[in-house]
Amino acid sequence: MTNKYREEAPGYTMTTVMEEAARCLLCHDAPCSAACPADTDPASFIQSVRFRNLKGAADTIRSNNALGAICARVCPTEKYCELACSRSGIDVPIDIGGIQRFVTDFEQQGDLKIIEKGDSNGKSVAIVGSGPGGLQTATTLLEKGYAVDIYEKNEKAGGYLTYGIPEYRLPANIVNYEIQRIIDLGANIKYNTTVGKDITMTEIKANHDAVVVAVGASEGKVLSMFKDNPYVESAVDFLARVKENQDDIVDIPGSAIVIGGGDVAMDVSTTLKRLNVKNVTDVAYEEFDEFKASKKELAGTQKQGVTIVDGYVPERVNGNEVTFKHRNIDGELKIKADTIILAVGQKVNTEGLGFVTEHGEVKFKGYKAKDEKVYVTGDIAEGDKTVVWAVRKGKEVAEEIDHDLLGGN
């Protein structure tokens, strides 16, 4: 693999991880643990690391999170556990993600098998979609003794873990390892199978006691003025293309305009720079003080030399030339580039699944759909749209199904 895709952040060594863990205040009622959406309990695994009990630390992480090695790399910890960390009052928060990465790397190197399949309870559940929501739901159900079939439209599992988040932030070998462990636990993944097209919901329901729909928001939104424009591609299509063809990416443009100000726009801009695209301009609706992208991602993108223009909205497009207007001041900006990539959000495609969407989203309260055998989870269920929340929602929907089918015993 070429350098441009190699994982960016170096990991800790045994010595440096001990130094970082030694900064932890071992707080009573640790705020970091209360702030983790997946209940991964940093206070407890950091304490184990301090005692050099890496197996115990891995046990703690795995008891709550089937995707612990992935969350260690991509979780926006600055919004959750590290935001709550008491050490911030002294200097800087503990690098909880970094310590978790060290522990899960140790677990992978030792090929520890911590999660175990439960004894069969005779019930079976179908899951539509193998992104983080579907994968965590499958794990919790397998631990409880359910048989699990996952229907996945793509040829690989993982959803945005496999086809979205760039390699330099989340290496494919980490994703594949976590997925393989869920397969080893008993998940039966049926690849290249689009539910609603290759198989109907009615057929799936007839063969399972419950169905969980975890299809995510897997399509990029396209603003109407850009429809059918040959220069335009959605951010998620572009990132999927790069991940699919890492060593052999074709059609590298000389210049690019990226439209959007969130983390996905930062991923696209940084990826373009890593592919040696000379001029990359990111134009965002938000002004800098209201940017949606995390500070870490924004700084990383700026470091790559991407020009970021804030506060502008696209007004018209003529081929590959876009005219933008400033939101608050009089000002017009015309930019021409070889390609235009839209990072303006993702929408849900529920064709054939029996759900209605509103502005590209499925609106339900909780995890139950209208049909009593059908549940939703992951990005299409209420709550944050992050991997750690997909883990949380996956566990919660599995508990709810277990309660409905077997009384939760």
Ligand X SMILES: Cc1cc2nc3c(=O)[nH]c(=O)nc-3n(C[C@H](O)[C@H](O)[C@H](O)COP(=O)(O)OP(=O)(O)OC[C@H]3O[C@@H](n4cnc5c(N)ncnc54)[C@H](O)[C@@H]3O)c2cc1C
Q: Does 187 bind ligand X (CB under 6 A)?
A: no
Least separation in angstroms between residue 228's CB and ligand X is 23
76-135 residues in contact with ligand X (CB under 6 A) are 76, 128-134
CA separation, residue 382 to residues 18, 41, 79, 358, 363 (Å) = 38, 23, 18, 14, 8
Q: Does 322 bind ligand X (CB under 6 A)?
A: no
Least separation in angstroms between residue 71's CB and ligand SF4 is 15
Give the nearer residue to ligand X in terms of CB position, either 167 or 209: 167
User: What are the tokens at 89?
Assistant: 């009052």
Give the nearer residue to ligand X in terms of CB position, either 93 or 262: 262
Among 38, 61, 72, 85, the residue binding ligand SF4 under the rule CB under 6 A is 85
132 vs 184: CA distance, rounded Å: 17
CA separation, residue 172 to residues 91, 161, 232, 273, 378 (Å) = 34, 8, 27, 20, 21
Q: Does 300 bind ligand X (CB under 6 A)?
A: no
Q: Does 26 bind ligand SF4 (CB under 6 A)?
A: yes
Give the nearer residue to ligand X in terms of CB position, either 326 or 385: 385
Q: Does 68 bind ligand X (CB under 6 A)?
A: no
Would you give the binding string for ligand X spanning residues 147-186, x where CB under 6 A is met? ----xxxx----xx---xx---------------------
Residue 282 phi, psi dihedral angles, 5° rounding = -100, 125
Contact 272, 256 (CB under 8 A): yes
Classify burial at 232, counting beta carbons within 10 Å of its beta carbon; exposed 0-12, middle 13-18, buried 19 or more: buried
Among 5, 12, 17, 24, the residue binding ligand SF4 under the rule CB under 6 A is 24
Give the nearer residue to ligand SF4 in terms of CB position, either 90 or 225: 90
Least separation in angstroms between residue 379's CB and ligand X is 4
Q: Does 292 bind ligand X (CB under 6 A)?
A: no
Least separation in angstroms between residue 28's CB and ligand X is 29
Q: Does 314 bind ligand X (CB under 6 A)?
A: no
Q: Which does 130 bind (CB under 5 to 8 A by kind): ligand X, ligand SF4, none?
A: ligand X
Q: Does 214 bind ligand X (CB under 6 A)?
A: yes
120 vs 143: CA distance, rounded Å: 9
CA atoms within 13 A on the CB side of 408: 7
Give the nearer residue to ligand SF4 in terms of CB position, either 46 or 257: 46
Q: Which does 27 bind (CB under 5 to 8 A by kind): ligand SF4, ligand X, none?
A: ligand SF4
Q: Does 223 bind ligand SF4 (CB under 6 A)?
A: no
Q: Which does 46 bind (CB under 5 to 8 A by kind): ligand X, ligand SF4, none?
A: ligand SF4
Q: Does 264 bind ligand X (CB under 6 A)?
A: yes
94-153 residues in contact with ligand SF4 (CB under 6 A) are 94, 96
Least separation in angstroms between residue 81's CB and ligand SF4 is 7
Q: Does 18 bind ligand SF4 (CB under 6 A)?
A: no
Q: Does 31 bind ligand SF4 (CB under 6 A)?
A: yes
CA separation, residue 2 to residues 146, 236, 247, 248, 303 (Å) = 42, 22, 7, 10, 20
Least separation in angstroms between residue 119's CB and ligand X is 27
46-75 residues in contact with ligand SF4 (CB under 6 A) are 46
CA atoms within 13 A on the CB side of 104: 25
Among 178, 378, 391, 397, the residue binding ligand X under the rule CB under 6 A is 378
Q: Does 262 bind ligand X (CB under 6 A)?
A: no
Binding residues for ligand SF4, rule: CB under 6 A, are 24-27, 30-32, 42-43, 46, 85-87, 94, 96
